[in-house]
Structure 1
Amino acid sequence: MIVAAAQFAPVPLDAAANAARMAGLITEAAERGAGLVVFAELALTGYELDGIAAAPERYAYAADGPVLAPVAAACRATGTAAVVNCPAPAANGGLALTSYVYGPDGALLTRYDKRHLHGPEKAVFTPGRTDGRCTLGGLRIALATCYDTAHPEVWERAAADGCGVLLASAFHDSAVRVEELYAAAAREHGLQVLLANCLGPGSPGTACGLSGAWSPTAGRLADAGTEAGLTLADLRERITLMSDPAVAAEPAAQAPGSSSGVG
């Protein structure tokens, strides 16, 4: 499976503009042979915690709402799946920092609410309670968002659950951290890893880009550098493709009172 990490600088708090950009990148990725496109943390709004906190009801996006309709339509038109990270209504009220996974038919495949919130995120978002999992084209996938990846148990559970790939949406401002963390985790846990990192300024500073993919045996497979655009990685090293890929997912609803790991 060819997977694309989409890297761009979002327009701050302009979800409509960013959704249009995402739809264009999904179309471009499909034309280049990708079956799945992953976007950075809070790519729909930009990493703008103060603005989101000032009007949480305005920035709570439903997967089937009008703002994200262009993304779903692009998936449906191209037959390409996508992981889109944004503020979303939490199951028990408030906001979650959510990755929506759209299938190749444009329908919601699953959602993952970030479990390990970092610093000021805790004042804005409600942490998730379950790990992110879905199956696409016969491949079991783990989902993670930025600070999740700093917790070894996230990687350990992904490997123990039989996941072949971990997809990370992030806002990292340290190039050293990107290179050290993902290469080491891929190697230690035997996972293919794809990172979609942001570009440009946000609440914590300036994101460094460097989106790409890592193999547990070969290290870096693809590197987006510090420019906007797409970087593609062919993950067929460990994946047997199905001629007619079936799509399934874990239930989108969170189970209250699940295991530890909440930030």
Structure 2
Amino acid sequence: MRVAVAQLTSVPGDVEANVATAVQAVSQAGGAALLVLPELFLTGYTLPPAVIAADDPRLGPLQEAASAVGTVVLAGAAVPGQARPRLATLAFGGDHVRQVYDKQHLSGGEQDWFEPGEAGTVLDLAAVPVALATCYDTCFPEHGRAAADAGAVLYAASIAYYAGSEHRRDLYTRARALDNGFFVAVGALVGRCGDGEFCGGAAIHDPEGRTVAAVPDGEQGVAVADLDLALVAETRMLHPMLDERRALAPARRIVL
């Protein structure tokens, strides 16, 4: 399975410009089955957020580009919610643009402007189960474990980490790969967006947490890798943490 991840700079509120950048990324993805773009890329990572509906005609060129080459594109955007907007992942390349995931763990100021998603998502992508995550979700081992329990062999995450967070950024996503014995594909925001400076981190990690493809920090670009999905079963046999985990009683506290 060919997978691509993009590391891109987003223009706050300029959907047309961001869609044009995404279309270019599709052309660089080498016919990948899946392309992962950054968190909030289509609307820009700004608070308060610019909001767009999944059926907004400005998204049309990306839908057409993805459909033309048979690539499913995952792109982050702020979309309308119930009481507040949702920090969503939109999927392009099917019969229409779909809102397929809403970020479940909101970080910092996001909590003032968004409402969290209630459930995880696993996409059936040509019979390959692909779980979705957004940035802060990847900091929680339980999120990745729920994806593995749901059958995922690939964990696709869209992120936007501020400059200076490179160590934590990479440690979280590689740990989720190793914890669960699956591939992790990360699309990342880079450069200036609004008041923030973002550090990238677009990469693809194998089921033991090794990085098999990445875009260099500070640069825009697309990284592509052909994944041998048989490695998931092989790795889980070699490191059977998923099967051997136990339901543990609360820890005892002993005073010495």
Query: Per the alignment, in what secondary structure is the counterpart of residue 48 of structure 1?
Result: coil
Residue equivalent to 2:148 = 159
TM-score under structure 1 length normalisation: 0.82
Shift of 1:239: 7.9
Unpaired runs of at least 5, structure 1 = 53-58, 241-263
Alignment length, in residue pairs?
Answer: 229
Write the letter of the residue equivalent to 2:18: N
Residue equivalent to 2:86 = 96
Paired residues of 1:222 and 1:231 also in contact (CA < 8 A): yes
Write the letter of the residue equivalent to 1:41: E
Paired residues of 2:12 and 2:194 also in contact (CA < 8 A): no
Paired residues of 2:26 and 2:65 also in contact (CA < 8 A): yes
Write the letter of the residue equivalent to 1:40: P
Within a 5 Å distance, the mapping from 1:124-139 to structure 2 comes to: 124-139=113-128
**Change over 3 Å in CA distance of 1:153–1:204 after alignment to 2:** farther
Shift of 1:228: 0.5
Identify the range of structure 1 (107-116 vs 66-75) with the bigger mean alpha-carbon deviation: 107-116
Paired residues of 1:102 and 1:110 also in contact (CA < 8 A): no
**CA-atom RMSD in angstroms:** 1.8
**1:115 and 2:104 equivalent?**
yes
Residue equivalent to 2:191 = 200
**1:28 and 2:20 equivalent?**
no
Shift of 1:218: 6.0
Please give the per-residue CA displacement for 1:136-186, whole angstroms capped at 9, x wherever unaligned: 011111100000111111011011111000000011131111221122221
Paired residues of 1:14 and 1:45 also in contact (CA < 8 A): yes
Residue equivalent to 2:246 = none
Residue equivalent to 2:174 = 183
**Change over 3 Å in CA distance of 1:204–1:154 after alignment to 2:** farther
Query: Per the alignment, in what secondary structure is the counterpart of residue 10 of structure 1?
Result: coil
TM-score under structure 2 length normalisation: 0.84
Off by >4 Å, runs of 4+ in structure 1: none
**Change over 3 Å in CA distance of 1:204–1:122 after alignment to 2:** farther
**1:217 and 2:208 equivalent?**
yes
Paired residues of 1:145 and 1:170 also in contact (CA < 8 A): yes
The separation in 1 between residues aligned to 2:231 and 2:54, in whole angstroms, is 28
The separation in 2 between residues aligned to 1:202 and 1:123, in whole angstroms, is 19
Query: Per the alignment, in what secondary structure is the counterpart of residue 68 of structure 1?
Result: helix
Shift of 1:35: 1.5
Please give the per-residue CA displacement for 1:206-255, whole angstroms capped at 9, x wherever unaligned: 21112111112361111101210101121223389xxxxxxxxxxxxxxx
**Change over 3 Å in CA distance of 1:84–1:186 after alignment to 2:** same
Query: Per the alignment, in what secondary structure is the counterpart of residue 129 of structure 1?
Result: coil
The separation in 1 between residues aligned to 2:101 and 2:161, in whole angstroms, is 19
Higher gyration radius (CA): 2
Residue equivalent to 1:46 = 44
Shift of 1:201: 2.5
The separation in 1 between residues aligned to 2:193 and 2:144, in whole angstroms, is 27
Residue equivalent to 2:9 = 9
Please give the per-residue CA displacement for 1:113-132, whole angstroms capped at 9, x wherever unaligned: 11111110011111111112
Identify the range of structure 1 (79-88 vs 59-68) with the bigger mean alpha-carbon deviation: 59-68
Residue equivalent to 2:237 = none
Residue equivalent to 2:223 = 231
Paired residues of 1:4 and 1:36 also in contact (CA < 8 A): yes
Within a 5 Å distance, the mapping from 1:234-249 to structure 2 comes to: 234-238=226-230
Paired residues of 1:73 and 1:106 also in contact (CA < 8 A): no
Paired residues of 1:199 and 1:206 also in contact (CA < 8 A): yes
Within a 5 Å distance, the mapping from 1:141-152 to structure 2 comes to: 141-152=130-141
Unpaired runs of at least 5, structure 2 = 233-256
% same residue: 34
Paired residues of 2:9 and 2:193 also in contact (CA < 8 A): no
